[in-house]
């Protein structure tokens, strides 16, 4: 059965480097082989009929109108097959996307889509992301970080260059500052639209170190094609080293240019808006 590999479309997939990716690829493969079987069945019948029943002199067609038993059979069998398939596929969907079943996160970050960059926010030295509020978002404060929250002061903001540790559950809170984007990590089998005004939870767990690409999968304007970022997966030690460098960099930056004072009125307006995950 070695020749079967030439029929397997899974070979075209980019390498999978996430935990649930294997499960999703497996589902693709299940449907693929069902499809191959149906394809050969239907095309086989089609080819056979087209050759055998071509017009021949003296041979008349048979005027059958149909057969209820056959109709019943080819209604029931696909119902069972496809209904079962739908149920079978549901488990992987729940694992990957159901926000109630996301495993306990080891790393929490935020991602914003913006024409035409990906913007990432890390918690910084204190390990806590500052409160945010979409209503106070400006071009200088894309995340709408609450200026009165001390946790927000040391948050690290990076564009297009995401770094994460392997074998850790990563929870991403995803949104957009302008139009729709779609956070697409081909190697991780992750895709989630970023909606302005809503914060979506996305999780994954990378299993292989290396540098991979981030793409935007939802038309977001003229430079949509160029909304490219990279995601580098490190071992935990490497990641910590990288993260410490970032914290130091942020501290130096804050020392040079202190953040402007918060306006009290704005700070009050955002009370109770903490991490408003509007969708889930």
Cα→Cα distances 38→34, 41, 79, Å: 6, 5, 14
Alpha-carbon distance 25 to 33, whole Å?
Answer: 12
- One residue of 142, 170, 172, 233 binding another protein per CB under 8 A: 142
SS3 180: coil
Q: Which residues ranging from 15 to 34 are in contact with another protein (CB under 8 A)?
A: 23-24, 27-28, 31-32, 34
Q: Which residues ranging from 60 to 79 are in contact with another protein (CB under 8 A)?
A: 60-68, 70-71, 74-75, 78-79
The residue assigned the tokens 């307006």 is: 269
Stretch that binds another protein, among 133-141, 149-157, 159-167, 246-254 (CB under 8 A): 133-141
Asked if 248 interacts with another protein (CB under 8 A), we say no
Asked if 59 interacts with another protein (CB under 8 A), we say yes
SS3 242: helix
- Cβ closest to another protein, residue 15 vs residue 244: 15
Asked if 272 interacts with another protein (CB under 8 A), we say no
Asked if 186 interacts with another protein (CB under 8 A), we say yes
Strands (E), 71-169: 107-114, 117-122, 156-159, 161-165
The residue assigned the tokens 């209503």 is: 135
Asked if 103 interacts with another protein (CB under 8 A), we say no
Asked if 247 interacts with another protein (CB under 8 A), we say no
- Cβ closest to another protein, residue 93 vs residue 127: 93
Taking a C-beta distance cutoff of 8 angstroms, is the pair 146, 227 a contact?
Answer: no
Stretch that binds another protein, among 93-101, 151-159, 160-168, 249-257 (CB under 8 A): 93-101
- One residue of 22, 33, 35, 244 binding another protein per CB under 8 A: 35
Axis crossing angle, helix 21-52 with helix 68-97, rounded to the nearest 10? 160
The closest alpha carbon to 114, from 156, 161, 159, 172, belongs to 159
Taking a C-beta distance cutoff of 8 angstroms, is the pair 213, 25 a contact?
Answer: no
Asked if 6 interacts with another protein (CB under 8 A), we say no
Stretch that binds another protein, among 4-12, 121-129, 239-247, 264-272 (CB under 8 A): 4-12
Asked if 275 interacts with another protein (CB under 8 A), we say no
């Amino acid at each position: 059965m070695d020749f079967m590999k030439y029929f397997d479309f899974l070979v075209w997939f980019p390498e999978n480097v996430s935990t649930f990716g294997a499960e999703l690829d497996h589902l693709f493969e299940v449907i693929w082989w069902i499809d191959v079987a149906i394809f050969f069945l239907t095309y086989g019948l089609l080819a056979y009929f087209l050759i055998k029943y071509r017009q021949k002199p003296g041979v008349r067609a048979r005027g059958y109108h149909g057969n209820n038993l056959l109709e019943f059979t080819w209604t029931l069998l696909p119902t069972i097959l496809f209904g079962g398939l739908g149920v079978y596929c549901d488990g992987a969907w729940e694992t990957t996307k159901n926000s109630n079943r996301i495993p306990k996160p080891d790393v929490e970050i935020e991602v914003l889509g913006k024409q035409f960059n990906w913007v990432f926010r890390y918690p910084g030295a204190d390990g806590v992301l500052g409160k945010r509020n979409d209503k106070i978002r400006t071009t200088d404060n894309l995340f709408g970080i609450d200026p009165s929250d001390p946790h927000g002061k040391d948050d690290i903001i990076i564009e297009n260059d995401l770094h994460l540790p392997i074998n850790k559950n990563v929870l991403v809170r995803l949104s957009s500052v302008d139009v729709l984007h779609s956070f697409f990590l081909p190697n991780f089998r992750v895709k989630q639209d970023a909606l302005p005004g809503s914060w979506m939870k996305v999780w994954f767990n990378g299993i292989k170190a290396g540098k991979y690409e981030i793409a935007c999968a939802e038309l977001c304007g003229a430079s949509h094609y160029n909304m490219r970022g990279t995601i580098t997966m490190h071992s935990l030690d490497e990641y910590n080293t990288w993260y410490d460098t970032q914290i130091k960099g942020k501290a130096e930056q804050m020392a040079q240019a202190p953040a402007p004072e918060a306006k009290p009125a704005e700070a009050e307006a955002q009370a109770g808006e903490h991490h408003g995950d509007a969708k889930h």
